[in-house]
Amino acid sequence: MIFDVSIDATINAAVNGTMTTNLAQHGWAGLQTLAAMFPLQPPVASSIAGDIDRLYYLLTVITLFFTALIFSIIFYFMVKYRRRSNDDRPPDIHGSLVLELAWTIIPSLICVVIFVWSSSLYIRAYHPPANAAEVFVIGKQWMWHLQHTEGPREINALHVPVGVPVKLTMTSQDVIHGFYVPAFRVKKDVLPGRYTSFWFEATEAGTYHLFCTEFCGTSHTEMIGWVYAMPPREYAEWLANNENDEPMAQQGERIFNHYTCNYCHVPDGSGRGPSLVGIFGKPEKLSNGQSPVVDEDLIRRALMEPNSVPVEGFAPIMPTFKGQFTEEQILQLIAYVKSLGSQERANAK
């Protein structure tokens, strides 16, 4: 079912709705149509959307309440204390410490409540669950390239299963873009030269807007697409029908061997470069004393500027691969290293 309705479709629906004879159905259909014509929110389609809507409505209530309060007090004062003559003598009031404290403390408390509520929601949504399915995204002027780890590629479209957390790892090939799915209430900027990521879990099957949300040039408004959330069985079918590409890790392994990375990065650690088995997601000791966690960004940096991640115990002789790989190939290499991450770490030299 398509959630985004065009004006024509809603008018049709209204017309059709009013063709039923039952009066209650009339009214309910009318209300639904009205709601469809003037929705206040996008579809509630992710595990976090409902929570965000609730916070949003609380904020709306607070805003409308205080606006109405101020407006009505002002209106009341304006009428009650309108000038009656030039000889009016208002009382000599300088202020009131009690009132000042009250209207400082009460708004502060309200702010604390909102901050705590919002931040806990944010923190909860920040880290993806460990079992999240992964999709990699490359934004470029002016389209989205997506690739599932299982292999299927998509352009300006993203198929995801309902009820399964999905993590998107994204980079840009040129300027800054933004990946936004209003129905899921998630958004993240997509930056060149590094990876950003976010996750969501779709809860309702449907078709939802995907927008580019960071201005990126002439066809910024055309860098849009659709997210298709499907029940898990349909999703599995879709995957099976679209597996004309190998899984990313396999593609990465082919690149790894083709470019003779395996000559130095021997799995048992006996080569001239460190073993890559079991390193993903764990700290790696560098010769400059740092121990950064191996993530997508680190692998990318190691490919582009190897001298910036000198692993301890190994000579800094790795050549740079800048300009030799597309962003897709880099992601495939990363997927390959990730796939090695589940294996036991080999002993270092």
Partner 1 sequence: MSETALHHANPTGFAHQFEDLEQQHEAGRLGMWIFLATEILFFGGMFTAYTIYRALHLPAFVIGSHLLEVQFGATNTVVLICSSLTMALAIRAAQTGKEKSTIIMWLVLTMILGATFLGLKLRFEWYHDYVEHIVPGFGFVYRPEWGSLAPSVQMFMCFYFFMTGLHALHMVVGLGILAVLVGMAGKGKFTSQYYVPLEISGLYWHFVDIVWIFLFPLLYLIGGRYASGGH
Partner 2 sequence: MSTATIDLHEAPAESSTNYLNATYGMKSWLLTLDHKRIGMLYLGTITLMFLVGGIAAVLMRLNLLEPQGALVEPDTYNKLFSIHGILMVFFFLVPSIPATLGNFLIPLMIGARDVAFPRLNLMSWYVFITGCAFVLYAVMAGGVDTGWTFYPPFSSSYSHSHVVAAALGIFIAGFSSILTGLNFIVTIHKMRAPGMTWFRLPLFIWAMYATSLIFVLGTPVIAVTLLLLGAERLLHVGIFDPAIGGDPLLFQHLFWFYSHPAVYIMILPGMGVISELITAFSRKKIFGYSFVAFSSLAIAIISFVVWGHHMFVTGQSIYAGLVFSVLSFVVAIPSAVKVFNWTATLYKGSISYEAPMLYALGFIGLFTMGGLTGLFLASLATDIHLNSTYFIVAHFHYVMVGGAVMAFLGGIHYWWPKITGRMYPDLWARFAAFVIFIGFNLTFFPQFMLGYLGMPRRYGIYPEEFQVLNVMSSAGASILAVGYVIPLVYFFWSWNYGPPAGPNPWGATGLEWETASPPPTENFEHTPIVTEEPYNYPTAEVASE
Instruction: Please report how close the Cβ of residue 318 comes to partner 1 at its closest, in angstroms.
Output: 9
28 binds partner 2 per the rule CB under 8 A: no
173 binds partner 2 per the rule CB under 8 A: no
Strands 186-190 and 177-181: antiparallel
Q: Which two tokens stand for residue 5?
A: 């309705």
Residue 81 interacts, among partner 2, partner 1, none and using kind-specific CB cut-offs from 5 to 8 Å, with partner 2
Residue 100 interacts, among partner 1, partner 2, none and using kind-specific CB cut-offs from 5 to 8 Å, with partner 2
Of 296-325, which residues contact partner 1 (CB under 8 A)? 304-308, 319-320, 322
42 binds partner 2 per the rule CB under 8 A: yes
Q: State the residue for tokens 């349909």.
A: 234
Instruction: Please report how close the Cβ of residue 291 comes to partner 1 at its closest, in angstroms.
Output: 16
Select 17 or 306, whichever has its Cβ closest to partner 1: 306
Taking alpha carbons only, the member of 40, 1, 51 closest to residue 229 is 1
- Kindly report whether the peptide bond that precedes residue 28 is cis, defined as omega within 30 degrees of 0: no
Instruction: Please report how close the Cβ of residue 264 comes to partner 1 at its closest, in angstroms.
Output: 16
Among 92, 130, 244, 289, binds partner 2 (CB under 8 A): 92
The type of residue at 98 is V
Q: Which two tokens stand for residue 31?
A: 């209300």
Taking alpha carbons only, the member of 340, 299, 296 closest to residue 318 is 299
Binding mask 281-320 for partner 2 (x = CB under 8 A): ------------------------x---------------
Burial class, 112, CB count within 10 angstroms (exposed 0-12 / middle 13-18 / buried 19+): exposed
Instruction: Please report how close the Cβ of residue 60 comes to partner 2 at its closest, in angstroms.
Output: 8
Select 95 or 323, whichever has its Cβ closest to partner 1: 323
Q: Give the interface size with partner 2 as a residue count (CB under 8 A).
A: 89
189 binds partner 2 per the rule CB under 8 A: yes
Which residues 6+ apart lie within 8 Å of 332 measured at CB?
A: 248, 249, 251, 252, 255
Taking alpha carbons only, the member of 125, 123, 113 closest to residue 50 is 125
226 binds partner 2 per the rule CB under 8 A: no
CA distance 157 to 155: 5
Interface residues with partner 1 (CB under 8 A) are: 304-308, 319-320, 322
